[in-house]
């Protein structure tokens, strides 16, 4: 499954990442004092990386799990995946 890596120091808690995710894969975790974005629905994540791009402080990184995505065999063979 895809995952989210957050730089806690860099995150300003602006929530732009959560607001921008068009499949609502990101949610705001209120269980920690300042809150934080979490990849609540990793199977829905399209690895578009809009959330990364729109983060004003580059605090967010989406770590793709390529094995969980459908990739045509011709492409995977060509790439050596
Ligand atoms: S857009 Fe970046 S700074 Fe804003 S809440 Fe998300 S990770 Fe934190
Ligand atoms: S990579 Fe795209 S689909 Fe995945 S959480 Fe970010 S904005 Fe949403």
User: For 22-47, how does the pLDDT look when each residue is reduced to its tens digit (9 = 90+)?
Assistant: 999 999 999 988 999 999 999 899 99
CA distance 62 to 55: 12
Q: Which domain holds residue 12?
A: 3-71
Cα 79 → chain centroid? 23
Is position 7 within any domain?
yes
Q: How far is the CA of 80 from the centre of ligand 2 (A)?
A: 26
How much is the pLDDT for 58?
Answer: 97
Is position 77 within any domain?
no
pLDDT > 70: percent of the chain: 90
Task: Look at residue 43 and give its three-state secondary structure.
Answer: helix
Q: How far is the CA of 76 from the centre of ligand 1 (A)?
A: 33
Pairing label, strands 26-29, 36-39: antiparallel
Q: How far is the CA of 72 from the centre of ligand 2 (A)?
A: 22
Is position 39 within any domain?
yes
51 within ligand 2 shell (Cβ under 6 A)? yes
CA distance 17 to 19: 5
Domain count, the chain: 1
Give the CATH number of the domain where residue 67 resides: 3.30.70.20
- Radius of gyration of the chain from Cα atoms? 14
16 within ligand 1 shell (Cβ under 6 A)? yes
């Amino acid at each position: 499954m895809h995952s989210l890596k957050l730089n806690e120091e860099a995150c300003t808690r602006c929530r732009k990442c959560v607001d921008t995710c068009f499949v609502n894969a990101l949610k705001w975790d209120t269980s920690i004092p300042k809150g934080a974005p979490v990849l609540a629905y990793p199977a829905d994540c399209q690895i578009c990386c809009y959330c990364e791009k729109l983060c004003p402080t580059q605090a967010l990184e989406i770590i793709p799990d390529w094995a969980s995505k459908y990739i045509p065999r011709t492409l995977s063979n060509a790439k050596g995946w």
